[in-house]
């Protein structure tokens, strides 16, 4: 597995990320067989590391177990992304709160968190939910095909003028089958996380929720922190498609999209504004108001488009 290392500017109490930091839980990175929190970069309990070459990962079989990536990251502009590559080694039953992911104020325990929750719904699908296992504020993100597949969850924290005007945007990708979810948005974050993002530093947070029949195995083989948004970055080896122009006025032609694909267009808040079945012809988007949108086609990298 390839690793990306970039220069870290280090002070005595914090690390400020210049671009991207990746952990693959390898021997070369200083990880050893045993509890994850024995590594100085992590806090938590009931998570263990297997650094054996070819099967490097952190994992837990316990419920209600959290892992905090202890290195604090300052948000250099307005956005920072936390990405987790993971899988569940057992089929998940319907109607279960599965896990939580997000950002932590770097507290000594689990701390204060800005998070999303991953749940199986009563129909058996996997869905991003907000704290309290309730629907997100706008948009949606979920998968119907996910059982025991390699998954990636991507969370982008966008800072506003204050905690209430900040937000988290999240997507799930099934890497095994090249399937992308929609974009789910949760508005507002705790004040402690907002303050830490610009001063003391925030960290990534993973929490295993309900134990499932005492047999669940939650495997994490990579975590990534990136300054800026990565909702449309080719980090999961998905194919891309091109727009004939961007910014657009009214008409846009797509290159590289398979005929019959479903095309969805979302606002920056995650609200779906259009849905098409691609027939190979150009799209007329003249009805859209000027602004920034995301165009999503399942199995392809999400593209940002700007409407004049």
192 three-state secondary structure: helix
Residue 17 reports pLDDT greater than 80: no
Residue that has been written with the tokens 């479903």 in this structure: 262
Averaged pLDDT of the chain:
83
CA 159 – CA 45 distance, rounded (Å): 30
Residue 192, φ and ψ in degrees, nearest 5:
-65, -40
Look at residue 2 and tell me whether its pLDDT is greater than 80. Answer: no
Map out the domains of the chain as residue ranges.
Answer: 8-227, 242-307
Q: What is the mean pLDDT of residues 267-294?
A: 84
The phi-psi region of residue 273 (left if phi > 0; otherwise alpha if psi is between -120 and 50; otherwise beta) is alpha
pLDDT at 238: 58
Ordered alpha helix ranges (H), 180-240? 191-198
305 pLDDT band (50/70/90 cuts)? confident
With a cut of 70, say whether residue 269 has pLDDT above it. Answer: no
29-78 per-position pLDDT tens digit: 999 999 999 998 998 888 999 999 988 999 987 878 889 987 789 998 89
Which of these, 198, 167, 189, lies nearest to 75 by C-alpha position? 198
Predicted confidence (pLDDT) per residue in 76-115, tens digit: 889 999 999 999 888 888 888 889 999 999 876 777 899 9
Interior angle at CA 290, CA 257 and CA 164, nearest 5: 100
Phi, psi (deg, nearest 5) at residue 195: -65, -40
Confidence of residue 193 (pLDDT cuts 50, 70, 90): very high
- The alpha-carbon radius of gyration of the chain (Å, integer) is 19
* Dist. CA 111–CA 76, nearest whole Å: 22
> For the structural domain made of 242-307, what CATH number should be given?
2.60.40
Q: How far apart are CA 95 and CA 124, in angstroms?
A: 7
Report the topology of domain 8-227.
Jelly Rolls (2.60.120)
Q: Write the pLDDT tens digit of every residue in 116-170.
A: 999 999 988 899 999 888 999 988 888 888 888 899 999 999 999 999 999 999 9
Q: What is the pTM of this model?
A: 0.72
């Amino acid at each position: 597995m390839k690793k990306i290392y970039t220069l870290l500017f280090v002070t005595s109490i914090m690390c400020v990320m210049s671009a991207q930091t990746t952990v693959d839980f390898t021997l070369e990175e200083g990880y050893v067989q045993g509890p994850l929190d024995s590594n100085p970069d992590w806090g938590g309990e009931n998570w263990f590391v297997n650094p054996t070459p070819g099967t490097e990962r952190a994992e837990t079989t316990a419920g209600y177990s959290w892992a905090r990536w202890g290195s604090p990251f300052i948000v250099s502009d307005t956005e920072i992304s936390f990405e987790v590559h993971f899988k569940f080694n057992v089929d998940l039953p319907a109607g279960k709160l599965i896990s939580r992911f997000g950002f932590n104020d770097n507290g000594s325990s689990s701390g204060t968190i800005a998070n999303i929750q991953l749940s199986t719904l009563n129909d058996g699908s996997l869905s991003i939910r907000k704290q309290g296992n309730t629907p997100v504020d706008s948009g949606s993100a979920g998968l119907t095909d996910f059982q025991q597949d390699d998954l990636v969850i991507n969370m982008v924290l966008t800072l506003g003028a204050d905690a209430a005007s900040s937000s988290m945007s999240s997507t799930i990708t099934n890497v095994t089958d090249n399937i992308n979810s929609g974009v789910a948005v949760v508005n507002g974050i705790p004040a402690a996380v907002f303050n830490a993002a610009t001063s003391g530093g925030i960290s990534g947070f993973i929490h295993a929720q309900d134990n499932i029949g005492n047999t669940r195995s939650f495997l994490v083989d990579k975590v990534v922190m990136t300054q800026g948004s990565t909702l449309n970055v080719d980090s999961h080896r998905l194919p891309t498609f091109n727009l004939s122009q961007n910014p657009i006025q009214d008409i846009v032609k797509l290159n590289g999209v398979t005929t019959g694909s479903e095309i969805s267009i979302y606002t920056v808040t995650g609200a779906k504004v259009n849905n098409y079945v691609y027939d190979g012809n150009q799209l007329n988007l003249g009805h859209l108001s000027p602004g920034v949108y995301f165009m999503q086609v399942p199995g392809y990298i999400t593209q940002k488009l700007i409407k004049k």
